[in-house]
Structure 1
Amino acid sequence: MVEIPTNQPTRICLVRHGETEWNAERRIQGQIDIGLNQTGLRQAEAAGRWLSSAGITALYSSDLKRARTTAEAIGAHLGLVPALLPEMRERRYGVFEGLTYAEAQARFPDGYAAFEGRNADYNFENGESLREMYARVTGKLVEVAAAHVGQRVVIVLHGGVLDIVNRFVRGRGLDAQRDFLIPNAGLNWIATVDGRWHIETWGETGHLEAGALDELPS
């Protein structure tokens, strides 16, 4: 068995799931199990083709259908079956789930103001706060990285999860307004060595048709 030197970076490609009809409608999915639309299926295939020569040794995915289907399409090109990670699910948006952003703002103006203002403790009335989500996502990310030192790994996940990971890697606060894109089926490469993290590239869409959505609020 060849040992991989621990000073070699672990590179993780984070892939947002392909487009869904609810993405196109700006409807809040949360943990409701929505599937991909036809555009999303094409995006998943395109991501798989792009990553087929990237030297990927492991493939993980959120267990929600839109992520899992994206991961299965990618895995078909990599010769890998995705291992499912419930910890990488989208945020639980509680009473907001199933509503468009405009509907959520109209029905729950105070809650929407807390959401839009990135109040880290607001939980959508029995949903999930940013602080709670941060703990589950970053804990699992660190665990995956530790299991694949010096390797290249793909994780298929969700826009809200990517928002958390970007802040974790850059050391930015949960309350800071978003200053980065999170397009459907975009590729986001991060790396870690000796516990230090950095972003290599973010929001890559060169493999996709023009028009990949980033419908998320800032």
Structure 2
Amino acid sequence: MKTTRICLVRHGETSWNAEKRIQGNIDVGLNTAGQAQAEAAAAWLSGNSTMAALYSSDLLRARQTAERVGRALHLAPILRPEFRERRYGLFEGLTYDQSRTRYPDVYALFEGREPDFVIPYGGESLRQLHQRVCAGLQRVVEDHRGQSVVVVTHGGVLDIVNRVVRGTSLRAPRDFLIPNAAINWVCADGNRWRLEAWGVTDHLAMVGLDELP
């Protein structure tokens, strides 16, 4: 069975990351620190000439990161909405503290990682996110057997990817980091996943934020 290697990169920092403000599908661009992080990730990846393709969420902060990676790898980013951030519904635009204070009952279900809880007003459940991300990953694996690719995405998506690869429950508290612009490597042999490296930040002058709950 030919192995597919996927290098997943979280987008660089935004001002909303720094404010611990929930972005979801709101299109926020990189701040100055995030641009530098994206350049650093691109420089680190530039030494890897074996990448067959570059995929990215179509949200601005991911696209801006992917554009820098693409220049370093001489690859044009292919936009895939399957790798968009989770839709956080009524929480989008609020900080985590504001969300907890204004909607305590809803936030408790969110914080408790109830897999089938759909966040009101256009939000998405963890199970829906899981299905979307798995479909996106499987599409990449089928298209690139025996190859290596890059995927630029978001914290919520990476939370799901880590659980898929390690076989961890959606309900389990997070026991891994997801810093901005960190490098993560996973491999797929058919339907079998392996984790090669996670949360690598050696390329960053300052470790990226992990403001996620």
TM-score by length of 1: 0.95
Q: How does 1:2-13 map to 2 (within 5 A)?
A: 7-13=1-7
Paired with 2:100 and 2:205, the residues of 1 have a C-alpha distance of 32
- Residue 188 of structure 2: SS of its match in structure 1? strand
Per-residue CA distance 1:123-160 (angstroms, 9 max, x = gap): 22131000111101111101101100111100000000
Paired with 2:189 and 2:107, the residues of 1 have a C-alpha distance of 38
Structure-2 residue corresponding to 1:122? 117
Structure-2 residue corresponding to 1:14? 8
- Residue 55 of structure 2: SS of its match in structure 1? strand
By how many angstroms is 1:212 displaced? 1.1
Per-residue CA distance 1:8-56 (angstroms, 9 max, x = gap): 3210000000000000000000000000001100111111111112221
Paired with 1:144 and 1:196, the residues of 2 have a C-alpha distance of 14
Paired with 1:166 and 1:122, the residues of 2 have a C-alpha distance of 20
Q: 2:144 aligns with which of 140, 148, 152?
A: 148
Per-residue CA distance 1:163-194 (angstroms, 9 max, x = gap): 01111111111000000000000000000113
Q: How does 1:29-40 map to 2 (within 5 A)?
A: 29-40=23-34
Runs of 4+ with >4 A deviation = none
By how many angstroms is 1:102 displaced? 0.1
Paired with 1:27 and 1:209, the residues of 2 have a C-alpha distance of 24
Structure-2 residue corresponding to 1:158? 154
Alignment pair present for 1:196 and 2:192:
yes
Letter in 1 for 2:166: R
Q: How does 1:3-82 map to 2 (within 5 A)?
A: 7-54=1-48, 55-82=50-77
Letter in 2 for 1:151: Q
Paired with 1:172 and 1:148, the residues of 2 have a C-alpha distance of 25
Percent of pairs identical after alignment?
61
Q: 1:83 aligns with which of 73, 78, 83?
A: 78
- Residue 177 of structure 2: SS of its match in structure 1? coil
Per-residue CA distance 1:69-96 (angstroms, 9 max, x = gap): 0000000000000000011100000000
Structure-2 residue corresponding to 1:178? 174
Paired with 2:117 and 2:54, the residues of 1 have a C-alpha distance of 32
Structure-1 residue corresponding to 2:201? 205
| Gaps in structure 1 of 5+ consecutive residues | 1-6
Paired with 2:207 and 2:198, the residues of 1 have a C-alpha distance of 17
Contact 2:201 2:207 (8 Å CA) reproduced: no
Give the number of equivalent residue pairs.
211
Paired with 2:172 and 2:147, the residues of 1 have a C-alpha distance of 31
When the two chains are superposed, the root-mean-square deviation of aligned CA atoms in Å is 0.8
CA 1:194–1:124: 2 relative to 1, 3 Å: closer
By how many angstroms is 1:122 displaced? 1.5
Paired with 2:187 and 2:97, the residues of 1 have a C-alpha distance of 37
- Residue 81 of structure 1: SS of its match in structure 2? coil
